[in-house]
Amino acid sequence: MTENSKIDTNSKQDIAAVSDAETTSAPMGQGGTFISLRIKNFRYLVTGSMFSFGIQWIQSVILNWLVYDITGSGTMLGTINLVASFSSFAMLFVTGIMVDYFNRRKLMLTETAIVFVATIGLGLLLVKGYSYVWLVIIFTLVCGMVQTLDSTLRQVLIFDLVPRSQTPSAMALNQTGWSLMRVLGPSIGGFFLVWFGAGRSLLVQAAIWILVAITILMMKIPDKKIERVRSSPLQNMKDGLGFIFHEPVTRIFTLIGIVMPILAIPIFVILPPIYAVQVFGDTSGRVLGFLMAAVGVGGIIGGVVMTYLKRFERWGLIQVASFFLLSITLLGFAFCKSLPVALATMVLAGFFEVIFLTTNMTLIQLSIPDKLRARVTAAVSLTWILSPVGSMMAGAGADLLGPKNITIVLSAVGAVVAILIYMCSPTVRKYRLSQNMGAK
């Protein structure tokens, strides 16, 4: 087969991936807000992602509650997240190679099978009465590795399945699904805690992983021509980091992305169980579910708004402004004395969080060439290994200062960082969304 015929075959495969939607690349702002949902394979991807997101949020609520119930320690909550980040860090060195080298459908099915078995195993042990923190640590290690690979795969697949001009909307819709599950997941998690307990709820989650596997089997992934990576895992990571350091747009938005897992995410993940018990006096898990669900409600609204923001060019400013407003909102949350006001504040926080995360992920992905996408995406994910720093600060700070005081410290620092980024980075101030839409 000649080189031209290979290219022609790949082109036909790429066209086939979107032909069932009767859609092609359209200029920015045209084609409708939800046009990417016309692509059948993208719908399967989003559906599977929503199931996966839902399980992760249910699992987060249940495991955090279980650990705090066993130990009564905010520091231990931070330690569990440290374990998850350690496993993610170890996995990142091979994630890019795996995504580029192996069949992506088989890879997704394999990771789903692994977490399915792990979930059943921990669920059965908890049902039998083996409630030990070390079991949660092992489970967290496994899930951290799988979720790191899954996250990279699903980001890369959006660019495989959706025309480039529609990727901002596709990323926003995917993020909206994440936020929707952030509403349903914690609420369901709180319900499971009350009615079934931690062990049996994990068994239900295992059944949901079967639905994830079905969406993968239904999805047709184009067999694109990919630059095969045969170097070592360390060289693979160096390639990704090298691109980040030399590409100004990728570099600045990756650096901005670092502040979220350090200063904001811990307030959403580590502190809610402590707020539920110490501030609002709840021991049933219901308030925890309400707090997490309120963030998800705001996230859904933010995700819908994001699908319209593609009409605006100044996404750099939108990103910095959303993080500043998120920090101010979390600062206000620390002073809330009543649950209804706290829930309203969390809705606003969820709204600004999704605006920030969606703009950050989209701008980074648009700046990456297709042949390096898996490697650079894995390298970008290295920023999330810093989340244990925030988790430990939040958990230990809650033990030493109380949850409200540590929230004030983290959110105040976040607001200052947002102001400094705006003042010191002309790249962010001058960035236009369209400047990378044609890049490959």
Q: What is the mean pLDDT of residues 190-200?
A: 74
Element (H, E) at 315: helix 315-333
In the chain, where are the structural domains located? 35-221+231-433
Separation between Cα atoms, residue 390 and residue 259, nearest integer Å = 9
Instruction: Quote the tokens at residue 118.
Output: 């792990």
424 or 238, greater pLDDT: 424
* Res 50: pLDDT: 86
Q: Please state the separation of Cα 295 from the chain's center in Å.
A: 14
* Res 257: pLDDT: 85
CA distances from 379 to 15, 92, 154 (A): 29, 7, 15
Determine how many CB atoms are found less than 10 A away from the CB of residue 197.
16
Determine how many CB atoms are found less than 10 A away from the CB of residue 300.
22
The answer, yes or no, to whether residue 110 has pLDDT greater than 60, is yes
Q: 18-22, 233-237, 282-286, 352-356 — which one is most confidently predicted on average?
A: 352-356
The 10s digit of each residue's pLDDT in 385-403 is 666 677 778 888 888 899 9
Which positions ≥6 away from 59 have C-beta within 8 Å?
119, 143, 189, 202, 205
Instruction: Quote the tokens at residue 239.
Output: 């390639």
Confidence grade of residue 323 (pLDDT, cut at 50, 70, 90)? very high
Q: Please give the CATH architecture assigned to the domain spanning 35-221+231-433.
A: Up-down Bundle (1.20)
The 10s digit of each residue's pLDDT in 343-389 is 999 999 989 988 898 888 888 878 888 777 767 776 676 666 666 67
The answer, yes or no, to whether residue 299 has pLDDT greater than 60, is yes
The answer, yes or no, to whether residue 143 has pLDDT greater than 60, is yes
**pTM, 2 dp:** 0.66
The answer, yes or no, to whether residue 228 has pLDDT greater than 70, is no
The 10s digit of each residue's pLDDT in 50-104 is 888 888 878 877 887 788 777 877 777 777 777 777 777 777 667 777 887 788 8
Instruction: Quote the tokens at residue 107.
Output: 């890879």
**Residues 397/271, Cβ–Cβ less than 8 Å:** no
Confidence grade of residue 199 (pLDDT, cut at 50, 70, 90)? confident
Separation between Cα atoms, residue 150 and residue 333, nearest integer Å = 32
Q: What is the mean pLDDT of residues 160-189?
A: 72
